[in-house]
Structure 1
C-alpha cells in the first residue's frame, strides 16, 4: 500500500493526471502490480504490454493510446537467461514522440546507464515521495485501463474497461468462484500482460484483501517441480493455472507433484482455453483426487468469469459448467436461435453484465461487431455445446484467432508480419492442434520471384516474425507453396 501511494505521488510529480495514459512494459515482478494500482489510484489509464512482445508490437500499442510515459525494467529472467527489455523500449520510444519519461526498474548490478532527464531510476523516483496518496474521485464509467488483444484483423484492439463495473465483476467472481477467505494464499500463474493477470492476480484478489503469490519464469525451470515446491513452501490454498501448463507438467510424470506436500490446497482453477478431460483428470488426481477444479470461461472483453462451476457444483471433466450468477448465456445458430442439447453452435451472452468492456478504444465500429454479428446478443467468437444438464463445453474459436498456450494470436497479425519480409509474396496462417500448447501456428507462403526455399530462409522468416511481434507469434511450421 505504501509503495503504491509513493508510486502514485511520483506519477503526479511528473505531471500525470486523471485520464492520462501510462504504458507498463514489465516482467512479472511486484513493481508491475504497484504501477498498475498507482495509476488506478490517481485516475490515470494504464496499458500493460506483455514483456514478451517485440519493439514493433510495443510501438503499435503506444501509437494507438499515446501514453505520456512508460515504466519498464532493464531485464527479465527466463529459464536462467537474462532477457533484455530496455533495448526493446528504446527502439519503440525512438519512434514515439508522445513518451515524455521512461522509468526503469534496474534489477542488474551495476545498473544500466540512464539518459537523464528523460530516463529515471524506479527506486530514486519513489524514495522521495510520501507514503500516502489520497485516491482520485472517479465516476464508475471512467476508464481504468486499455488492454490490447488480438482480433481477426491485423491491428490489435484496445479493449477498454472502467472502474465501477470491472471492480464489481472481478471482486464478486474471485470471492465466489474460489470461495476466497481471509486466510487463503492465492497463486494465479498468469502474467498481468494478459487479462487473467489483470483480473485474477491484481484486481479481483486484492479487492478481496487476499494474499497473492507471483512467480516469474516457467513452471518447469529449474525443475518440473517448481510450482509444486512453491505451493508447499508458501502454503498455497488456491491454485489457478492453464491447460497448457497442466499438459506441460503431465509430460514429466506424477513423481514431481508427489515430491511436494500439497495438502494446503483446497481449490483449483483452469483458465485460458478449454481443458481436455485427460488433463483435467490428471490435475485432479495429482493434487489428491478430492479438490474441485473451477474450469472458468471468459475473455479479455468480458473482464471477468462468465461461465464456471462453483466449489459446491457437480463437476464434469472438460466442462465450464453453467453461467455465473446473473449471466444469461446460451448456444445458438447464426440467426440467434437456441440449439438443442449436444449441438455445436456459437456461445453468446444475451444481457449486459457489470464487467463488460465499454468500447474498443478509437474504434467504436469494431465494438459494435460483437453485438451485431448475431442479433441482440454479445457474440464471443467461441464454438460451444450444452449438454442435457445445461453444462457448457467450449470447443475453440469460430474466427481467425489462434490460441497458443491460452494466448490469443490473430492470424492476420502473423500474416502481415510475414508479408513484410522481402522474400514473401503471400501468406496464409492457420492453427494446428498441439498436444501441449493447444494450438500451434503454421504458415503457408508464396515466395517472390528470385527467392528459393532453404532452411536458412525459413529461419530468417521465423526471426523476422519474432522481431515484428515477439517469440509467442513465431510459426512452428512454415510451408512454401507454389500457389
Structure 2
C-alpha cells in the first residue's frame, strides 16, 4: 500500500478558528477522533446539535429526533417537525434586514453574459414562478423534471417547485432524449422545464428539440416550460409548451407551503449496475441539512463566503452547491460554460472575478487543466481561496500535487470528499482540524459511522475492503422511488443492518482512507457515474447486436472510459457497423459518456445463470489476473478479449 507524508498541516491558530473546532469546543472536545466517536455513539444527540448549529428554522418544532421503528433502512428523522427547504435557503435571508441585500447568486454564461441576485431580488423571482407553476396546475406532491444547463432560471425553478410543495427531479443537461425519457417514465413527471438552447464553447446547443422528443414519448407530461436562453427559433406546441416569460407575470409575494420534515422535495436519479437508473428520494430535512452541514461545518463555509462548484444540476454536486451554500447564507456561483473556454484560464478567472473562497472541482478537470500549463494560473489572483474541494473519483498523486502547489500556493487545503447521490453529501473527507495527505481522506465525517469490511463482515486495517456505514444518518435516501426492494438489495443485502456503499477502500493504521475503485460495475467517467446497462441497452436495440458488455478502463484524462464489446447475429463485422453503433450511442447518451471503442467478439463470458461477468471482461482486456473464473460456463471467451487488449497495447 502506498504511504504519503502530510502535505498540509493546520496551525493551532487556523484549526481553532474553524467552525468545526469551535463547535467541538462548545461540546467539550478538542480531539477530533474523540468527537467523532461521540457523534456516532449518540446519533440523536449529534444530529439535534447539527440542526441547532445550522440554525435550521422550523415552522413546527419536531417531537423526536429519530424513530427507528422500521429499522435502520427506514429511519424517520425529526418526527412532527415542519419546514420548507425554500425557507431555509432563501426566505429567511430575504426577510432578514442584515442579509436581504447580500448576493445569493452570481451567474456567468458561456458567452460572458453575467447576472447577480440579492436574496431579496431572488425571492421575488422565485415567488413569481411559484405562482406561475400553480396557475398551470402544478400542485403539492407533483414531480417536475428539470432539463436545464446552469442558468439562474434553473435555481429559480428548483426553489419555486419546493415553495409550492412539489418535487423537482434534475436531469443532466448533456443527456439525449432517451436518457431523459427513461427518467420521466420512471418518475411520472407532470411537467418538464427546459431551455430553447444554451451556449457551450461559443456554439449554440439546441435543447428544445431533444425536449420535444422526450415530451412526445411521455404521456404523463402536461406542460413543457421553456426558458428563452438564446432566443433560438423553436417550435411551440400549444397548449403543451409554455414560455418561461409567461410563468413570471405575477409579482405578488408567495406564501411558502408548510411541509413535513420527511416529505420529499427532490428525486434525483443515479446510475446502477443493472436495470433502470435508481431514483434517490430526498426530504426537506434530509439533503439540505446534510449538505449544509458538510459545507458549513466541515468545509468551513460561512455567511461571508462564496462557494463555486463546477458541476451540472443533474449531478449530486449541483444541489449540494445550492443548499451547501445558501442554507449557510453564503453566495454561490453558477457557470454555464466550460473551464478552459475561450481561454485556458476561464476557471481561474471566475475565481478571481467573484472572489471565490471555496472552489469545487474534479480530478479529471485538473488533469485537463494541467495540459495547458501552470502559466494560466499564475496570470490570476487566487488569494481569495480558502479551500479547494474535490469529488467524483479517486485521485492520483501528480495532479493532486499540481493543484495544491499551483492553484493553492501550497497553503490552501484540498478537501477530498466522497459520498454519493444517495448519501446527500460525504462519507469520507479531509476535516480541517487534522493534517491532510495527498490523494487520501483524513477522516470519516462527523455522524458517519464508517468501517471497512472483509468478505465475512470483519473490520480490516491496511487491507482493501468494502466501505460500509453502520448507523443511519440525516440525508440518507428515503429508499428508491417506488422501489423499496431494489433499495434494500442495493445497500442492505450484504451484511445485517449495514449500508454497503459500493467502494473499495483501504484504512491505514493512522486513520487515513484511500478509495481504490468501485466494488460494483458502475463506471466513473470524468466524475460522472454511468451504469453499464444503460450503454448495453442502447447497443442491443440494434438489429445486428444480440449481446453487449460494457466495462470501464483507466483513462489519463477522464480517469475511466467506457469500452464496449458486442456479439453479432449473422451480420459480418464491418467498420460501417461500428461507426453506426458509435453514432447511435452518441445520439442516445451524448458524446461525453459514450464508448469510443466498440469491439466485436464471438461470445461474452457468462455465469451459469447467463449473467455477463464484466469483471472477467475487464481483467482480460487489461491483461490482469482474472481470479476465480469457476462461475463461468465459457471461460474460453476471455481469450479473444485478452488478445484484443494485447494487440492494442502492443500498437
Q: TM-score category by the smaller chain?
A: over 0.9
Secondary structure at the aligned position of 2:247 is classed as: helix
2-structure distance, mates of 1:67, 1:278: 44
- Cα contact 1:328–1:351 (8 A) shared by 2: yes
2-structure distance, mates of 1:124, 1:234: 31
Q: Which residue of 2 aligns with 1:21?
A: 143
Q: Deviations over 1:2-60 (max 9, x none)?
A: 11111111111112111011111111111111111111111101111111111111111
Secondary structure at the aligned position of 2:258 is classed as: coil
In the alignment, is residue 148 of structure 1 matched against residue 269 of structure 2?
A: yes
Distance 1:109 1:11, change over 3 A: closer
2-structure distance, mates of 1:251, 1:242: 15
Aligned-CA RMSD value: 1.3
Give structure 1 regions of 4+ aligned residues with deviation exceeding 4 angstroms.
Answer: none
Q: Deviations over 1:440-477 (max 9, x none)?
A: 011111222133321x3222111111222332331021
Q: Which residue of 1 aligns with 2:192?
A: 70
Shift of 1:110: 5.8
Q: Which residue of 1 aligns with 2:176?
A: 54
Q: Deviations over 1:364-403 (max 9, x none)?
A: 1011020122222101101000011111111110111000
Q: Deviations over 1:124-176 (max 9, x none)?
A: 220x2134211111111101111111001131111111111222211111101
Q: Which residue of 2 aligns with 1:187?
A: 308
Secondary structure at the aligned position of 2:524 is classed as: strand
Q: 1:198 aligns with which of 316, 319, 335?
A: 319
Shift of 1:112: 2.9
Describe how 1:1-400 pairs up with structure 2 within 5 A.
1-109=123-231, 111-126=233-248, 128-199=249-320, 201-287=321-407, 288-340=409-461, 342-369=462-489, 370-400=491-521
1-structure distance, mates of 2:594, 2:419: 25
- Cα contact 2:143–2:190 (8 A) shared by 1: yes
Q: Which runs of 5+ in 2 are unaligned?
A: 1-122, 604-651
1-structure distance, mates of 2:186, 2:158: 19
- Cα contact 2:143–2:187 (8 A) shared by 1: yes
Q: Which residue of 2 aligns with 1:431?
A: 552
2-structure distance, mates of 1:86, 1:230: 29
- Cα contact 1:267–1:311 (8 A) shared by 2: no
2-structure distance, mates of 1:374, 1:476: 38
- Cα contact 1:177–1:294 (8 A) shared by 2: no
1-structure distance, mates of 2:326, 2:580: 44
Q: Which residue of 2 aligns with 1:445?
A: 566
Distance 1:266 1:464, change over 3 A: same
In the alignment, is residue 471 of structure 1 matched against residue 581 of structure 2?
A: no
2-structure distance, mates of 1:338, 1:197: 34
Secondary structure at the aligned position of 2:145 is classed as: strand
Distance 1:450 1:372, change over 3 A: closer
Shift of 1:239: 0.7
2-structure distance, mates of 1:26, 1:302: 23
Q: Deviations over 1:409-451 (max 9, x none)?
A: 0111111111111221221111110111110011111222133
Q: Which runs of 5+ in 1 are unaligned?
A: none
Shift of 1:111: 4.7
1-structure distance, mates of 2:227, 2:559: 34
Distance 1:325 1:110, change over 3 A: closer
- Cα contact 1:162–1:358 (8 A) shared by 2: yes
1-structure distance, mates of 2:361, 2:252: 34
2-structure distance, mates of 1:108, 1:184: 31
2-structure distance, mates of 1:111, 1:470: 23
2-structure distance, mates of 1:271, 1:445: 32
1-structure distance, mates of 2:591, 2:276: 18
1-structure distance, mates of 2:433, 2:354: 26
2-structure distance, mates of 1:109, 1:309: 44
- Cα contact 1:426–1:446 (8 A) shared by 2: yes
1-structure distance, mates of 2:474, 2:232: 47
2-structure distance, mates of 1:14, 1:116: 13
